[in-house]
Structure formats: structure tokens, C-alpha cells
Chains A and B, each alone.
Chain A
């Protein structure tokens, strides 16, 4: 059964319609990258997916959106805020419980953040910061991850590491990316967005970055 189906729908925000005539379906286990110029509507489409998926999906927002005043542990723990009682959450805010710390630590080890678990996120480097945002999404128990430019501010080596981890740990992956080469390498289905419409939806196998040029060049169809 499809994870998500859209039939001639539209999407927007603040009451402004940005995308029209959306028809597509997403199956569990797919690795999808949304590509297109900035402002084309990728983030809006991503938000629509996330809203439809509900608690089944974890979100990695564009600017990482960590809470500056809290530690790595607290930011990652937030991935399961909805599954715990308020009292447990309050308790963990003041004095983290041992089993929750252990669970978070297990997520952090492969991301090489174990020693930073009780550091404030304000002290992290750019890569560590983005990996913490990933850890939060991985800690979320949903099978799907929806990520908006998850590797925009890290070097290529770290970008590959993050994308590989994502693919390994979540069943379904939906990304918005501006790096065409990485999109082709890590996604098996590419959805091209241009001027408020889906203009391309195909498998990535065999494609080269050059094939995607017309998504980016103005006026060239």
C-alpha cells in the first residue's frame, strides 16, 4: 500500500498557493530527492508530505532548528517527545534518566557525537550541528525521514556520511537537495520541481547531473 498519495492537489503556505496539480504516490522503502531551483517550491512540497505523514515521519528542517540553550542529549531526545509523558519529559529536562541517556548515546555513537552528548549545541561545529539534527530525526521512531537540505552546510565527505546513515537507518527517505550529483547518487527517484509544478518524476539510475540542467536554466524547456 502506498505511504502517501496525492491526486491533483495544491499546496502553499500563509494562504498563498505555490504548487498546483500535484499527482504522485510514494511507496514505503523509496529514496526520493526533490530537486529544483531555490524558490521553486521544494520546501512547500516537503512540508505537504510531512503534514500528510504525521507521526510516521521525522523531520529534519532546513536550518537544523536545534534549541540553542539545550545540550545535544536534550535536542536528540526531542525526537521522542510525543511518545513520553509530560512528567518524564520534565524530569529529563532537569535530570536526564539513565536509560534515556543510553538510548540517545547509541544513536550518537555512529555519528561520532558520543563525547558531545552533554555539550551545549551552541559550541558545536557546523558538521556536528547538522549531525545532531540528524540524530534527533533518527531517534524519532517513525520509519520515514523528511529532510530539507540536510547537507547544505557541510563538506562533501560529511554530506555522504549523513546521507548514507539516513539511507541505512530509515525505511523511506524524502529529501530536498540542491546538489544534483549527490541526489543522483543517494536517491533512486528524482522529483523535479519548477515554477510551482512537478516537471519531472523518474528513476535516477543512469542519469547524470547534466540531464537535470533544464530544471535550473530559466526559459529553457
Chain B
């Protein structure tokens, strides 16, 4: 009798995640509630193919602001991130960076909005702070992976600074530059989305145009946005960077005043839990009740919905990736078809998931479905792109089978590991995005955070943001342990 084969750890993990996602799916609200979603969709499509670039004269300014926030935010994040990367061996710095990057830029923006109002500081800091945390981690990893051999040839007695400058920095520099470009692309997306909470970027006009059904204007805004991102490698030149930064700083409306008393009030009064602020007898007991109320009425349901949506979106992303990567893989498609595939993936991944979810939500009404589709489309386009590029390096033997057999026997087994690595790497990203989609009305943690801000209950908002951050850090830790247990690795180019 032949003994039954033990399932591989890879298969077991996959099955486990599939099972969890299925259970989440059963309990998820995924109904389409709008009366006639397809009519609205038809109108949207019509608007998309008839872009109107003259509908609003503030289009140029919105674009300029979007660029300005992204450039300044990412530049600041680079400076701080680099500095932090140098001292990343300190545990305090590592934990601090994990914390600031676990809070989504939209949450940061909501916080700064209370402190600085609509001052440009709000937008710049909202991008710079979480990005500094991400950049610090990635740069520290790059420095660690730099070629260490030349160290041996450095003369005895050379200082640490000189050694760093000549041996470790040069190799890392090209990686830093590439990564900064990628971060700038992310920064542009973040900056556009900041418009949804009131900053004067593209998102602001997008929301207005959408709400009023001006789909031709929506189309024009999106096309401009894609063009800016698609041409980034052309206009982003090193010698021009100082010019861009000065211009960015110059056009932002720094005149918008904010008062320091607001800032200090925020820290010393607003965020102190209400019962403690009021004080008096029994304030500690009241604080206990407040905490229990917050945890059970808001944090818990928010966490459940966030987890549920994240797991469904993660598995859906996996499935979509399996469909998306062949679109650009030379192993499976010809040149002409691949060009179409590239265009499709570029458009889908350049559209911020927040905007995708916003559009779908308007078409289908409030449920988890728009969020699931938006998150999985966006993330699958990113991972599909990376996996598609990865297949370019795979050499098949000359007599390899063709068609579906090739996909299942030659390609899929080769890409499955790297695909899982990327999926787990993005798990935490998906969670962060899930939380933020709550602002659109899906009852994840972001929904409760947004409501607390709307009610001017900053103590509640901050507690919920902290809980969201903890959830992020937990998932990040689990993901890292799964990746190391299954020996799933991502390369520098894929971060």
C-alpha cells in the first residue's frame, strides 16, 4: 500500500487562507443595492469616452497641487527616511518606524486637519510621515544587502563616515533612486486621494464631479492623472528636482493660517479621553466604561469587518493575479496582445484603490462588494505586473507544451512561490487600505474613525487609529513569520 503523501506547507497555507476567506465571504454583505446600477454605469462609460478638459478652469491648479504635495512629501520622507535608515539597528527606531507607517496617510491627514486646518502642512506631513517610516525600512534593507566585500580593502584607520560614503553608499544609491521614483508614484496617488478629505488636489474635484454626475470631467481628471504618472520617467530628471521642489513650495497656499493654540489644544485637551477630561469623582470608573463602550461598540465590529474584507480581498487578489500576469507574459502571449495587457495593467494599478472603490460604491451602493473589487483589481494589477515581468526571466525548454498545458505545467508551478511571497508582502498593505475605505462608508475601522472625526470626538478617533495601527503591526508580523517559514522571498525591485 502506498502511503498518502503529506500536503506541502505551501498547499496547507493556501488551503487555510482559502478556507478563512470563504467563511468571511459567507458572512459578508455583498448585495448590489442601487436600483439600476447598469444605467449609471452606461452614463459613466459614456463620460469616460468623452473627456471634457475645459469643464473646470481649476483643473490645472488641482494637478499642480497634487504634484506639489507629492513632491514635497516624498522629498521630506526621503531625507528623514534616510536618516532613520542609518540608525535602524536601534530597536526604538525600528518600532517607531513600524508604528508611523502602520497609520495610513489619510488617517494622518485627518489628524493634521484638526491641528493645521487646510494649511499645506497637513498634506505634506500626511505623506511625509508614513512614507518616512516605509523608506527607513527599505533603505536599511538596501544598505544591509549592499556588497560588503570592498570593506576589506579599505585602509586600516579610515573613519566610519568615509568608509560609509565610499563603500556602502555608492552601491545603494542606484537602489535609493529607483525606490524614490516608485515612492513618488505612490505619493502622487496618495496626494490625489487626499482631495477626498478636503485638500485642493485632484481627488477633491473628482469627488465633486462624480457626485454631480459630470462623468466627462471625471474622465478628464483621470486621464490627466494617468498621463502625469505614465510620463514620470520623462519629466523626473535629477537636475530638475530642485526646480520642482522650489516650484512646489512656491505654489502651495502657505497663507492659510493655523493657530498654535489649536495644535496644543489638540494634544493637551482634544485627544484626552472624555471622562478624564471632565475629571471629578469617579472619572476613572467613567473612563473604564468609556473604554469598554469603545472597544465593544466600535473597535470590535470595526476590526471584524476590516479583517473580513482584508481576507476576502487578499484571496481575490490572488485569483485575479493568476488571470492578470499572463496578459504580459512572453511565455504565454504574443507581442501585440502583451502591449494591450501592459496598457490595461498600467491603468488599473495607477488608479488609486480609493478612487476605484469610490466609483464602484456610487454604481453599486454601499456594501463590501465595491471594496473587494477595488482592492483586488488594484493589487492584482501590481502583483500581476511583477509576476509577468518575472516570467520574462524564465527559460522554457524548446519542446515545452503550449497553451493551457503550458500555463498549468510550466508556468504556474514556477511563479506560484514568488506570487505568494508578494501576496503576503501586500497583505498588510491591503489591510491598511481596507481600514481607510471605511471613510467611504463601509463599516471597517476607518468608518468609525471618520465618524469620530466628524463628531469632533478626537479622543475616540485617536484610540481607534491606534487600534488600527496595532492590527496592522500584528498582520505584518504574522505575514513575516509565514514568509520566513515558507521561505518566500521578495527581491529589492519588488518592494
Task: Name the one of A67, A68, A83, A137 contacting B166, with C-beta atoms under 8 angstroms.
Answer: A67
Which stretch, A20-28, A55-63, A100-108, A186-194, touches the partner chain B? Answer: A55-63
Interface residues of A in 108-124 (CB under 8 A from B): none
In Å, the complex CA distance between A59 and B158 comes to: 13
Are A67 and B150 in contact, CB atoms less than 8 angstroms apart?
Answer: yes
Are B155 and A89 in contact, CB atoms less than 8 angstroms apart?
Answer: no
Task: Name the one of B156, B159, B161, B167 contacting A55, with C-beta atoms under 8 angstroms.
Answer: B156
In Å, the complex CA distance between A78 and B166 comes to: 7
Task: Name the one of A69, A78, A82, A133 contacting B157, with C-beta atoms under 8 angstroms.
Answer: A82
Mark contacts of B135-174 with chain A using CB atoms, 8 A cut-off: 1 yes-contact digit, 0 otherwise: 0000000000001011111111111011101110011011
Are A79 and B173 in contact, CB atoms less than 8 angstroms apart?
Answer: no
Given A58-B155, A81-B155, A89-B149 contact (CB < 8 Å): no
Are A70 and B166 in contact, CB atoms less than 8 angstroms apart?
Answer: yes
Give the nearest-CB partner of B175 in chain A. Answer: A69
Mark contacts of A112-149 with chain B using CB atoms, 8 A cut-off: 1 yes-contact digit, 0 otherwise: 00000000000000000000010011001010000000
In Å, the complex CA distance between A133 and B152 comes to: 12
In Å, the complex CA distance between A65 and B162 comes to: 17
Given A81-B163, A93-B166, A68-B157 contact (CB < 8 Å): no
In Å, the complex CA distance between A191 and B92 comes to: 51
Q: Does A66 contact B (CB under 8 A)?
A: yes
Which residues of the other chain, A, contact B174 by a CB distance below 8 angstroms? 69
In Å, the complex CA distance between A44 and B164 comes to: 25
The size of the chain A interface, using a CB distance under 8 A, is 31
Are B149 and A65 in contact, CB atoms less than 8 angstroms apart?
Answer: yes
Q: Say how far A134's CB is from chain B's closest CB, in angstroms.
A: 11
Which residues of the other chain, A, contact B154 by a CB distance below 8 angstroms? 78, 81-82
Which residues of the other chain, B, contact A93 by a CB distance below 8 angstroms? 165-166, 170
Give the nearest-CB partner of B174 in chain A. Answer: A69
Which residues of the other chain, B, contact A60 by a CB distance below 8 angstroms? 153
The size of the chain B interface, using a CB distance under 8 A, is 22
Are A81 and B147 in contact, CB atoms less than 8 angstroms apart?
Answer: no
A-B contact count (CB 8 A): 77
Are A69 and B170 in contact, CB atoms less than 8 angstroms apart?
Answer: yes
Are A67 and B147 in contact, CB atoms less than 8 angstroms apart?
Answer: yes
Are A140 and B155 in contact, CB atoms less than 8 angstroms apart?
Answer: yes
In Å, the complex CA distance between A86 and B151 comes to: 17
Q: Say how far B486's CB is from chain A's closest CB, in angstroms.
A: 29
Q: Does A54 contact B (CB under 8 A)?
A: yes
Given A67-B167, A78-B166, A89-B165, A59-B147 contact (CB < 8 Å): no
Which residues of the other chain, B, contact A133 by a CB distance below 8 angstroms? 153
Q: Does A84 contact B (CB under 8 A)?
A: yes
Q: Say how far A60's CB is from chain B's closest CB, in angstroms.
A: 7
Are B156 and A78 in contact, CB atoms less than 8 angstroms apart?
Answer: no
Q: Say how far B123's CB is from chain A's closest CB, in angstroms.
A: 32
Are B171 and A67 in contact, CB atoms less than 8 angstroms apart?
Answer: yes
Give the nearest-CB partner of B147 in chain A. Answer: A68
Are A86 and B162 in contact, CB atoms less than 8 angstroms apart?
Answer: yes
Are B155 and A90 in contact, CB atoms less than 8 angstroms apart?
Answer: no
Are B152 and A81 in contact, CB atoms less than 8 angstroms apart?
Answer: no
Which residues of the other chain, A, contact B162 by a CB distance below 8 angstroms? 81-82, 84, 86, 89
In Å, the complex CA distance between A1 and B422 comes to: 62
Which residues of the other chain, B, contact A90 by a CB distance below 8 angstroms? 165
Given A69-B171, A69-B173, A81-B149 contact (CB < 8 Å): no
Which residues of the other chain, B, contact A42 by a CB distance below 8 angstroms? none
Q: Say how far A199's CB is from chain B's closest CB, in angstroms.
A: 27
Give the nearest-CB partner of B152 in chain A. Answer: A61
Q: Say how far B356's CB is from chain A's closest CB, in angstroms.
A: 39
Q: Does A74 contact B (CB under 8 A)?
A: yes
Give the nearest-CB partner of A90 in chain B. Answer: B165
Are A82 and B159 in contact, CB atoms less than 8 angstroms apart?
Answer: yes
Task: Name the one of A63, A69, A83, A86 contacting B149, with C-beta atoms under 8 angstroms.
Answer: A63
Give the nearest-CB partner of B160 in chain A. Answer: A86
Most chain B Cβ neighbours within 10 Å, of A59, A69, A90: A69
Which residues of the other chain, A, contact B153 by a CB distance below 8 angstroms? 59-61, 65, 78, 133, 136-137
Give residues in B with beta carbon < 8 Å to A: 147, 149-159, 161-163, 165-167, 170-171, 173-174
Give residues in A with beta carbon < 8 Å to B: 54-55, 57-61, 63, 65-70, 74, 78-84, 86, 89-90, 93, 133, 136-137, 140, 142
Can you list 28 A-B contacts (CB < 8 A)? A55-B155, A59-B153, A60-B153, A61-B152, A65-B149, A65-B151, A66-B150, A67-B150, A67-B167, A67-B171, A69-B171, A69-B173, A70-B166, A74-B170, A78-B153, A78-B154, A78-B167, A79-B155, A81-B154, A81-B155, A82-B155, A86-B159, A86-B165, A89-B162, A89-B165, A93-B165, A136-B153, A137-B153
The 3 closest A-B pairs by CB, nearest first: A82-B158, A69-B170, A82-B157
